[in-house]
Structure 1
Amino acid sequence: MSEQTINDAMTKSPPPSPRVKSMKNFYRKLRKNKAAMVGGILILFFVIVAIIGPFFAPYDPTVQNHVNKLATPSSEHWFGTDHHGRDIFSRIIHGMSITLYIGLFSVIIGTVFGVFLGLISGYYGKRVDAFIMRCMDVLLAFPGILLALAIVSVLGGSLTNVIIAVGIFSIPVFARIVRGSVLSVRKLEYVDAVRALGASDGRIIFKHILPNILSPIIVQATLRMATAILTASGLSFLGMGAQPPTPEWGAMLSAGRNYMYDAPHVALFPGLAIVIVVLAFNIFGDGLRDALDPKMKN
């Protein structure tokens, strides 16, 4: 072998790992979905606004100015002012962090408990499966907003209780999805091989089954963000969520409905903010589902 051949072999970069190939394939399929890319860019923009936006908001979202109440949009107040003279643009910027905070932590609660229950139910089956699934069926028997409303009615109206309520009504959805995925995976040969080697149930569940069913969990969590935000806004609209003067979009929309004819901008801009955020998470979730589905063709 010549010296040049040896040098070429030494300088040649190693082939990419399967994980890198998988990520590149995922990004390539996601990039083909233009709507999903738009949704992802919007979500990234919302996150940036939620983090740094309050530092650049032109006005304090809670300071009232009754002399300038119900002012129409202008160069001074881009989205106008509400019935207390507060700048709507500043309140929407501050409300972005509240909205994403509620959606994120409620989905985390639903994901953690739902995934755990779904793993236990699908892996052990029989009586354990029957008991857990019947409990989930009871929760699913109630419409989501009504179940969340009942929970908040018992706990009291606050942002923390809204997060708990939305998280609880999200648990059955994750539990059923994970259970179905576990049922299709637990009978595969690699699971039998690991069990034959003496691995414990916990190791099999969390190290060998859970990593192989993450795709539907990720997709459902993204789509659930939209549902959680919409539900939380609905609870605040009904007066059961964020309390005044918190700049939460649902509460702002509720206050603005009294001025639909005299000052429609008071309700228009919070409503548009809810619609755009929910739409962004929905279309991005659809794109994730297509990109992570192994049945989809390249």
Structure 2
Amino acid sequence: MRIPGWLRRLWRTASGRFGVIVVVVVGVTALIARFWTPFDPIDVDIPGAWQSPNWPHLLGTDNTGRDILSLLMAGARTTVWVAAGAGLVATLLGLALAALGALTARWVRESTAVLVDILVAFPVLLIAMMLSSVWGGSLLVVIVSVGIGFGVNVARVTRPELRRVLHSDFVVAARASGLTGGQVLMRHLLPNVAPVFIVQLSWGMAVAVLAEAGLSYLGFGAPVTEPSWGVLLSDLQLHITTHPLSVVWPGLAITLTVLGLNLLGDGLREATDPTLSQRTAAARTHTPAVVA
């Protein structure tokens, strides 16, 4: 099977390689944790609390004797679930608003633009806190709030691209040939704005991971009974002065995942933008002249 060109270009960039590796590691870890963890992540063992890294507790235990490695693996499931769910919500909402803002009557486009501008003014975390105060803290609230918050940003970025492609010669010709608006959207518009959309989506998933950790840390996200990196970080930071190493692990997991998704977005932007790809290739092959 032939590897797509954009995927090869993505792997050639340092940011793309790092992002792909991080995403694959987190995804595989979440899949493994679905069926197996070294210990039960909710199994409390008070006599075994605060063990230093050893065998079989490779990262030690927390204040209740739970295995930190098992908690991190189980928390990866929550991270993947939130990132994928928020990405799906952002995709559906962003494409719907972008299509309304680019393909409909003038009054609908202007109304959609005003709605997007209003929603953009509300921070994602504020939306999540408002929803949590009404429906209670849960992962579903985090997914919906982050998906809405970033879906609006996706629509704001994607809408001008749709408008630009809409007035291209090949789209005008396709519409003149008798294709319906939906056929033009699926065959010509979406494939041409996909690079911008995919990049924005990868950054939105990074925001979702960070938002879930922050909201869980503040008590607005995952319930305390749900394995989550944010909940684990909130529990362990109370003991940071006596057991500082234990706080490093969830903080490192959050940092690397968010960094990996952001760098993946940068790599995708370079891999899917022909102009950037050509400039990068030229810069790598250019050898400056040496003046004697």
What TM-score does the superposition give when structure 1 sets the normalisation length?
0.88
Please tell me the residue identity of whatever aligns with 1:135: L
Find out whether 1:170 has 2:163 as its counterpart.
no
Partner of 2:77: 97
The within-5 A match list for 1:236-251 is: 236-251=216-231
How many Å apart are 1:240 and its aligned residue?
0.9
Deviations 1:79-135 (A, max 9, x none): 111121111110101111111111111111011111121022112362211111211
Find out whether 1:79 has 2:59 as its counterpart.
yes
Gaps of 5+ in 2: 282-292
Partner of 1:219: 199
Maintained 8 Å contact 2:128/2:141 = no
User: What root-mean-square deviation, in Å, do the aligned CA atoms of Structure 1 and Structure 2 show?
Assistant: 1.7
Partner of 2:254: 274
Find out whether 1:40 has 2:20 as its counterpart.
yes
Find out whether 1:295 has 2:275 as its counterpart.
yes
Find out whether 1:139 has 2:114 as its counterpart.
no
How many Å apart are 1:56 and its aligned residue?
3.9
Please tell me the residue identity of whatever aligns with 2:151: I
Maintained 8 Å contact 1:114/1:174 = yes
Partner of 1:4: none
How many Å apart are 1:145 and its aligned residue?
1.7
How many Å apart are 1:60 and its aligned residue?
0.3
Please tell me the residue identity of whatever aligns with 1:45: V
Find out whether 1:116 has 2:96 as its counterpart.
yes
Q: 1:166 and 1:49, CA in 2 relative to 1: closer, same or farther beyond 3 A?
A: same
Maintained 8 Å contact 1:30/1:36 = yes
Instruction: Give the number of the structure whose alpha-carbon radius of gyration is greater.
Output: 1
Maintained 8 Å contact 1:42/1:280 = yes
Find out whether 1:202 has 2:182 as its counterpart.
yes
Identity rate, percent: 34
SS in 2 for 1:71: coil
How many Å apart are 1:295 and its aligned residue?
1.3
Gaps of 5+ in 1: 1-15
Find out whether 1:262 has 2:242 as its counterpart.
yes
Please tell me the residue identity of whatever aligns with 2:238: N
Q: 1:210 & 1:55 partners in 2: Cα distance?
A: 37
Q: 1:54 and 1:190, CA in 2 relative to 1: closer, same or farther beyond 3 A?
A: closer
Maintained 8 Å contact 1:182/1:213 = yes
Please tell me the residue identity of whatever aligns with 2:224: P
Maintained 8 Å contact 1:111/1:170 = no
Please tell me the residue identity of whatever aligns with 1:179: R
Aligned counterpart for 1:158 among listed residues 120, 138, 145: 138
Partner of 2:266: 286
Q: 1:175 & 1:168 partners in 2: Cα distance?
A: 10
How many Å apart are 1:220 and its aligned residue?
1.1
SS in 1 for 2:96: helix
The within-5 A match list for 1:44-63 is: 44-63=24-43
Please tell me the residue identity of whatever aligns with 1:72: S
Maintained 8 Å contact 1:227/1:278 = yes
Maintained 8 Å contact 1:226/1:281 = yes
Q: 2:11 & 2:246 partners in 1: Cα distance?
A: 37
Aligned counterpart for 2:173 among listed residues 190, 193, 208: 193
How many Å apart are 1:24 and its aligned residue?
4.3
Partner of 2:285: none
Q: 2:114 & 2:4 partners in 1: Cα distance?
A: 41
Q: How many pairs were matched up?
A: 278
